Amino acid sequence: MVFRRLPQPLVLVSLATLAVHLTTFLARPVASYRVLALGGDARAVGFVAAAGAFLPIFLALPMGRAADRDRTPWLLLSGGLLMTAGTLILAYAGSLGVMAAGTVVLGTGQLALMLAFQTLIAMLSAPDKQDRNFGWFTAAASMGQLLGPLIGGWVVSGGRPGALLAETGTAFLIASAIGAVIVLLCVALVAALPRRSGARPPAAARGSATALLRNRRLLVAIFTSFAVMSSVDVLTAYLPVLGHERGLTPALVGVLLAVRAGFSFLSRLLIPVLLGRVGRRTVLVVSGGTAAAGVVGLVFATQPWLIAVLMAVLGMVLGLGQPLTMTWTVREAPDELRSTALGLRLTGNRVAQAAAPAAAGAVSALVGVAGPFLLIAALLAASTITMLPGWRAERSAARRRSPGPPGRTTRSTARPASRPAASRRSPRY
């Protein structure tokens, strides 16, 4: 087959990732407008957005265990079909309950695909290429996040109450067509995957998720990913609400969301350069603090150009969190539990997608539309604080590795050959 001539399946993974995020980020802001057209308010927007992540909270870990048992092709095919079905349900939803059901199906499909894609990248990438490949993977996701809001905002361009239901229905049908493309790409990817030889290790040899949760560094990585995912989801769900309050058209809101995605795309391409100059923790600490300040700035920004500048800054810094925590998670886990560790990370992400919009909806009912943005600013600040001990350790290790004055003997930085494999996989902190 023609797909077997590709240099590696990672090309298909990147194309499918672009399509998945195009569909998802077309559907999410359009879903907010459809909720408003059906008579919902900011709390209803939060409820529908949270519904899409509720079931995946309980499915991420079992899916990760399934991937560790070589069930990745099943995840690919079922995920593509579920995403297509979810967007079709949303296209014809006439009530908030059906909207919530559609987002559940869509979210479950997206979870299966993201876990399968990340598993494949970890499996097919050499250790020294993981940051680069996860960076390209998430850069493809950013391109989808850029195109999705633009298409959705263009279709829902009128924003008139009478036409909003029809326009959002058309947008979801476009998302369904892209879902069909995702299915075809997943079929091609399954055909292109190298066949793994050898018997599976016994269940006892594969360990458990409980052992992973004893690793503090892994927990910090999961919390950092949680904070970044919460921020992106709340921005996607509530920027339309903020724009509606301030008189911005759906098309302009789509452009603003695309600006964030576009700058995330650029920042992810720069990951090898950034890691070559400073450590992973330094990048994450600086980006987390900057993101918290930028989100607070959105609360006080009233001019569209200023909101666009802040969204560009947020795109640059929020774009770094996901790929760096993917590599961090993979390197903290033994080979036989990589997908389980990624499943734990995605469980945290889905908790973020469920809890953050719901909490944002509750806060918005108390303090107005500024509440959700202040909430995620506090969350980003908290995640940055949890990384400070590791950041200080990373800086101290870098100083110890620096050459001393002439004539002075310095400690060798070579790694002992007797270190266990799990330690060799761990990044520097």
- DSSP secondary structure, 224-238, as one string: HHHHHHHHHHHHHHH
**Lowest mean pLDDT across 103-112, 278-287, 358-367:** 358-367
Higher-pLDDT residue of 195 and 291 is 291
Of 184, 224, 245, 215, the residue nearest 320 (C-alpha): 224
DSSP state of 156: T
Q: Is the pLDDT confidence value at 421 over 60?
A: no
Higher-pLDDT residue of 413 and 257 is 257
| pLDDT at residue 400, as a whole number | 66
- The CA-CA-CA angle for residues 385, 321, 136, to 5°, reads 160
Per residue in 79-100, pLDDT (tens digit) is: 999 999 999 999 998 888 999 9
Detail the DSSP E strand segments found in 259-376: none
In the chain, where the domains are located: 2-193+215-397
Mean pLDDT of 21-36: 89
For 30, residues 6+ apart whose C-beta sits below 8 A from its C-beta are 152, 155, 156, 168, 171, 172, 175
For 243, residues 6+ apart whose C-beta sits below 8 A from its C-beta are 249, 250, 252, 253, 256
Higher-pLDDT residue of 105 and 66 is 105
Q: Considering the chain, what percentage of its residues have pLDDT values greater than 90?
A: 24
Per residue in 357-411, pLDDT (tens digit) is: 778 878 887 888 888 899 899 999 999 998 887 666 666 666 666 555 544 444 4
Q: Is residue 233 within 8 Å of 353, Cβ to Cβ?
A: yes
Q: Which helix (H) or strand (E) holds 315?
A: helix 304-332
**Lowest mean pLDDT across 22-26, 134-138, 419-423:** 419-423
For 136, residues 6+ apart whose C-beta sits below 8 A from its C-beta are 10, 14, 268, 269
Structure tokens at 93: 């939803």
Higher-pLDDT residue of 357 and 416 is 357
What is the rounded distance in angstroms from the CA atom of residue 269 to the CA atom of residue 106?
A: 28
CATH 3.40.50.300 fits 2-193+215-397, yes or no: no
Q: Is the pLDDT confidence value at 227 over 60?
A: yes
Q: Is the pLDDT confidence value at 283 over 80?
A: yes
Q: Is the pLDDT confidence value at 196 over 70?
A: no
| pLDDT at residue 82, as a whole number | 96
Mean pLDDT of 237-262: 85
What is the rounded distance in angstroms from the CA atom of residue 202 to the CA atom of residue 39?
A: 54
pLDDT band at 413 (very low <50, low <70, confident <90, very high): very low
Of 20, 185, 182, 179, the residue nearest 91 (C-alpha): 179
pLDDT band at 70 (very low <50, low <70, confident <90, very high): confident
Higher-pLDDT residue of 167 and 425 is 167
Mean pLDDT of 190-219: 66
| pLDDT at residue 317, as a whole number | 93
Q: Is the pLDDT confidence value at 203 over 60?
A: no
Q: Is the dihedral of CA 344, 347, 352, 358 positive or negative?
A: negative
Mean pLDDT of 326-335: 83
What is the rounded distance in angstroms from the CA atom of residue 257 to the CA atom of residue 145?
A: 8
| pLDDT at residue 237, as a whole number | 78
Q: Is residue 25 within 8 Å of 250, Cβ to Cβ?
A: no
Q: Considering the chain, what percentage of its residues have pLDDT values greater than 70?
A: 84
Higher-pLDDT residue of 422 and 86 is 86
Measured between alpha carbons, how far apart are the two ends of the chain, in Å?
44
What average pLDDT does the structure give for the chain?
81
| pLDDT at residue 3, as a whole number | 36
Q: Which helix (H) or strand (E) holds 222?
A: helix 216-245
Q: DSSP for 2-48, please give it.
A: GGGGSS-THHHHHHHHHHHHHHHHHHHHHHHHHHHHTT--HHHHHHH
Q: Is 31 exposed, middle or buried (0-12, 13-18, 19+ CB in 10 A)?
A: buried
What is the rounded distance in angstroms from the CA atom of residue 76 to the CA atom of residue 78?
A: 6
State the residue for tokens 């479950």: 108
What is the rounded distance in angstroms from the CA atom of residue 269 to the CA atom of residue 108?
A: 28
- The CA-CA-CA angle for residues 10, 11, 16, to 5°, reads 95
Mean pLDDT of 156-163: 65
CA distances from 290 to 25, 213, 231, 376 (A): 24, 29, 13, 13
DSSP state of 302: -
For 336, residues 6+ apart whose C-beta sits below 8 A from its C-beta are 68, 201, 205, 206, 207
Q: Is the dihedral of CA 335, 336, 341, 347 positive or negative?
A: positive
